């Protein structure tokens, strides 16, 4: 009964289907209540009543569905509470409550879901606390609490979830501190903590997260320093620190993260240079430092990042020059220096970028001359040169870009005519 938007009640005939194992009544936006007879579906394993916007309560008869393994009430935004009788659903492995924005509390009896492996509370923004019984979910591997913006604290019992591999606690705007809740979560591989805007420090227990591969602390506005324990995260492959605008120092411990493939430090306003220690990150494939407005220079040792495929330094307004060693990054497929308004030239050895497909040099206002070797970038498919003021000529070999599919030199008609003439001439 998918998206039966005119349905206001379940058909009475449904009660005869007692052998049902799967029932979807999702998207029935005018459905205000469920049938009492649902409790007769003893064999039901999957019940999906997501996006039933008008549903304001769940019947206690649901507690008779003792074979249920998956319950999806995603998007039931007018649902305010769950019945205490839910405690009988001991076979439940997946509970999705995403977007139940008016759900104000969870019953303590939820702790009986000892088989639960996945719990999604994303966007349950009216929750102000979690029951201590959450600690009974010892089989839980994935916990999504993203957008539970009114939670001011986490239960200590969260530390009992020793099977947890993925924890998402983004947008915890009211959370001010983490004590010892996370120290036992040694199986964690993925931890999202972005936009926890009032937290001023990272968990002290970072050194216990030996299995962590993805760590996201983007938009951690009040974070001022990184802990020494960060260097214990030797399995880390992705580190996102975008928008940590109060962060004063990138500690040398980053150099120990030799498994790192993705490093995002976008909008890190206090970053003035790329530390030499990053040259140890030889597995790095993506480096994003765009909008680091105080950034002035790149280390020559950047050349050691031989695996780098995507490098974004756009809108680094105070970057004055690019080291010639940049041309050693021969695996680059994307290079973005858009908006680096103080740059006056590119390295002459650009022809080493044989794999480059996307090159964005838009709004580099002070470029006067482009190197002739630019035409050797024969793999280039996208070139952005929008917004030039000082550039007066293009290399005549520019017409060699035979793989080019997108070219943007908008607003500069003279350059456009020159380029079109050159290509036509070829």
pLDDT for residue 232: 81
| 244 pLDDT higher than 70 | yes
Q: Is the dihedral of CA 343, 348, 349, 353 positive or negative?
A: positive
Amino acid 283: pLDDT: 93
Q: Can you tell me the mean pLDDT for 54-69?
A: 82
Q: What is the pLDDT of residue 27?
A: 83
Q: Which of 175-179, 197-201, 227-231, 403-407 has the highest mean pLDDT?
A: 403-407
Of all residues in the chain, the percent with pLDDT exceeding 90 is 26
Q: Which two tokens stand for residue 87?
A: 């405690």
Do residues 318 and 342 lie in contact, with contact meaning Cβ atoms separated by under 8 Å? yes
pLDDT computed for residue 336 by the predictor: 96
pLDDT of residue 418: 46
Phi-psi region of 363 (alpha: psi -120 to 50; beta: other; left: phi over 0): left
For the segment 359-384, what is each residue's pLDDT rounded down to a tens digit? 998 888 777 666 666 777 889 999 88
Q: Over range 84-93, report the average pLDDT.
A: 83
CATH no. of 1-164: 3.80.10.10
Q: What is the mean pLDDT of the chain?
A: 82
Residue 20: what pLDDT? Answer: 87
Tokens of 384: 């952005």
* Beta strand spans in 136-294 (E): 142-144, 166-168, 190-192, 214-216, 238-240, 262-264, 286-288
Q: Give, in order, the Cα–Cα distances in Å from 53 to each of 26, 74, 76, 103.
A: 10, 10, 5, 13
Average pLDDT over residues 222-226: 72
Beta pairing partners, 47: 23, 71
For residue 388, pLDDT over 50 is answered with yes
Give pLDDT tens digits for 3-44.
Answer: 666 666 676 767 777 788 998 988 877 777 776 667 778 899
pLDDT digits (tens, 9 = 90+) for 94-150: 999 999 999 988 888 888 888 999 999 999 999 888 888 888 888 999 999 998 888
Selected residue with higher pLDDT from 93 and 8: 93
Tens of pLDDT along 316-360?
989 888 888 888 899 999 999 999 988 888 887 787 888 999 999
Q: What is the pLDDT of residue 396?
A: 66
For range 155-168, the mean pLDDT:
89
In the prediction, which pLDDT does 152 show? 78
- Is the predicted pLDDT of residue 410 greater than 80, yes or no? no
Q: Is the pLDDT of residue 78 over 50?
A: yes
In Å, how far from its chain's centre is CA 248? Answer: 23
Q: Which of 91, 99, 90 is nearest to 72 (CA)?
A: 99
Query: 279-307 pLDDT, tens per residue?
Result: 788 999 999 989 888 888 887 778 889 99
Mean pLDDT score, 411-417: 48
The span from the CA of 378 to the CA of 291, in Å, is 29
Terminal Cα-to-Cα distance of the chain (whole angstroms): 62
pLDDT at 311 over 50: yes
**Mean pLDDT of all residues in 170-195:** 81
The candidate with the shortest Cα–Cα distance to 57, out of 86, 23, 81, is 81
Structure confidence at residue 255 (pLDDT)? 78
């Amino acid at each position: 009964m998918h998206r039966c938007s005119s349905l206001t009640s379940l058909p009475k005939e449904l009660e005869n289907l007692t052998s049902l194992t799967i029932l979807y009544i999702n998207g029935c936006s005018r459905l205000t209540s469920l049938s009492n007879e649902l409790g007769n579906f003893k064999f039901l394993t999957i019940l999906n009543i997501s996006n039933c916007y008008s549903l304001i309560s769940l019947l206690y008869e649901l507690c008779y569905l003792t074979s249920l393994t998956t319950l999806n009430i995603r998007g039931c935004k007018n649902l305010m509470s769950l019945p205490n009788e839910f405690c009988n659903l001991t076979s439940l492995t997946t509970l999705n409550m995403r977007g139940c924005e008016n759900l104000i509390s969870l019953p303590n009896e939820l702790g009986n879901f000892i088989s639960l492996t996945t719990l999604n509370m994303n966007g349950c923004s009216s929750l102000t606390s979690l029951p201590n019984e959450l600690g009974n979910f010892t089989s839980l591997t994935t916990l999504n609490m993203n957008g539970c913006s009114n939670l001011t604290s986490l239960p200590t019992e969260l530390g009992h979830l020793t099977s947890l591999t993925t924890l998402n606690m983004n947008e915890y705007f009211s959370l001010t501190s983490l004590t010892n809740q996370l120290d036992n979560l040694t199986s964690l591989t993925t931890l999202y903590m972005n936009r926890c805007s009032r937290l001023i420090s990272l968990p002290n227990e970072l050194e216990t997260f030996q299995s962590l591969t993805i760590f996201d602390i983007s938009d951690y506005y009040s974070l001022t320093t990184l802990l020494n324990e960060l260097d214990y995260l030797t399995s880390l492959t992705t580190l996102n620190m975008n928008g940590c605008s109060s962060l004063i120092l990138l500690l040398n411990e980053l150099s120990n993260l030799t498994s790192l493939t993705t490093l995002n430090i976008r909008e890190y306003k206090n970053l003035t240079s790329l530390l030499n220690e990053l040259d140890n990150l030889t597995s790095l494939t993506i480096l994003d430092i765009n909008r680091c407005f105080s950034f002035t220079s790149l280390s020559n040792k950047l050349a050691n990042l031989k695996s780098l495929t995507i490098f974004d330094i756009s809108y680094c307004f105070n970057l004055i020059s690019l080291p010639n060693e940049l041309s050693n990054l021969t695996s680059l497929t994307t290079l973005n220096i858009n908006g680096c308004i103080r740059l006056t030239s590119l390295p002459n050895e650009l022809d080493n970028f044989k794999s480059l497909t996307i090159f964005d040099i838009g709004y580099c206002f002070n470029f006067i001359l482009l190197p002739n070797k630019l035409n050797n970038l024969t793999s280039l498919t996208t070139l952005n040169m929008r917004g030039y003021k000082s550039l007066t000529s293009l290399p005549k070999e520019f017409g060699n870009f035979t793989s080019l599919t997108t070219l943007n030199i908008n607003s500069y008609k003279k350059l456009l005519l020159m380029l079109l003439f050159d290509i036509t001439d070829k």
